[in-house]
Amino acid sequence: EVTEQVQSHWIAFATNGKPLESWPAYDEAERKTLIFDTRTRVQKDPRSDRRKAWEGYRGYASQTLEPAT
């Protein structure tokens, strides 16, 4: 059942250029996320505690990589 749900959403996106209406547009204020599972649902800011733990960390993305010689 999960496979069919994922496929129907992606087929709609590939066909029409937009997902089905049950897949909300993402915005940073709400962070609504469609979760495909045994019970597909929209959840606001899932795992926010994990996301917030990384706030302010620049780590790898801020490092300048030297070209290989």
pLDDT > 80? residue 7? yes
DSSP string, 10-38: HHHHHHHSS--TTSPPP-TTT-EEEE-SS
* Residue 51 confidence (pLDDT): 86
Please compute the mean of the pLDDT values over residues 55-63 and round it to a whole number: 70
pLDDT tens digits, one per residue of 14-53: 999 988 998 898 899 999 999 999 999 999 999 999 888 8
Alpha-carbon distance of 46 to 56, in angstroms, equals: 19
pLDDT of residue 61: 60
